[in-house]
Amino acid sequence: MARELGPQGIHVAYLLIDAVIDVPWARKRYPEQPDDFFIRPGDIADELWHVAHQPRSAWSFLTELRPFNERW
């Protein structure tokens, strides 16, 4: 899609969310986890806004979102 639509000025991006999203049912499933184990929906939305409004000279295709507390 990016190859076809990019030349038409349409930004196509893939957002990978590799985290447990902070919603009530997830909190119930992982009650022992600290706040920084979860990724907040508002923070996901902020990153989506950022990607959607990138300048054309620096479009990204892939953005990965991971929680701060993730162990590597």
Strand partners for 21: 39
42/53 Cα distance (integer angstroms) = 17
pLDDT at position 71: 74
Residue 39 burial (CB count, 10 A):
21
Domain boundaries, the chain: 2-65
Which residue has better confidence, 72 or 22? Answer: 22
Sequence-distant (≥ 6) Cβ neighbours of residue 5 within 8 angstroms? 12
49 contacts 1 by C-beta, under 8 angstroms: no
Is the per-residue pLDDT at 65 higher than 90?
A: yes
Q: What is the pLDDT of residues 29-61, one digit of tens each?
A: 999 999 999 999 999 999 999 999 999 899 899
User: Whole-number mean pLDDT of the chain?
Assistant: 92
